[in-house]
Amino acid sequence: LQPDTLTVDKTQINTTDKYVGYKLDVENTTIPDVVNNGDIIRVYYVKDQFDYTVEYYYDGVIDDTKTETITATYQDVISTYTDKNITGYKLDRTENLPLTVSEVAENNIIRVYYIIDDGNTKTLSYTVEYYKDNVKVDLDTQIVSKTVQILQPDTLTVDKTQINTTD
């Protein structure tokens, strides 16, 4: 006579990460030690969590201080990122957006590229005042100004040939 119960050989049940992007659902999967004849053992898997990275480049150079690493579920579609534009730059392009999260880390990278915005300018100026007998000659005052890209330093080179020091 054969018993109605069987001892489960747990080595025969694959409880490792059997499916790409999935992991064993330990909350819903219980492997018993003994089962009745004809019982079904159900092994459940759920989508796993993976990191994706958003990298930010300014004029072609990565700024590691702005890089973000975020966790998402396998096959989630990521279509947004935090805008980290800084003054003087504008968005050029993104790469790998939208991103479908996979189990391969090097595929889970969104790259955001900013370039210098030549239209983002500031005006710099200096004034040349002329004095005659220690009295300012208002009509001779010159204001020199130049428009530069906002990332440029706040200094101007004085064109000495434009300053009348002989007359």
Residue 1 has pLDDT above 70, yes or no: no
In the numeric block, which tokens belong to residue 98? 């939208």
Please write the tens of the pLDDT for every residue from 7-20: 777 667 766 778 89
pLDDT given at position 54: 98
pLDDT given at position 38: 82
pLDDT given at position 28: 83
Helices (H), the chain: none
Please write the tens of the pLDDT for every residue from 68-114: 999 999 999 999 999 999 999 999 999 999 999 999 999 999 999 99
The pTM score is 0.74
Residues in the chain: 167
Cis before 98? omega within 30: yes
pLDDT given at position 160: 86
Please write the tens of the pLDDT for every residue from 12-62: 776 677 889 999 888 888 888 888 888 888 888 999 999 999 999 999 999
Round to whole Å and give the CA distance between 58 and 91: 9
pLDDT given at position 3: 64
| C-beta separation of 127 from 99 below 8 A | no
Comparing 5 with 133, the larger pLDDT belongs to 133
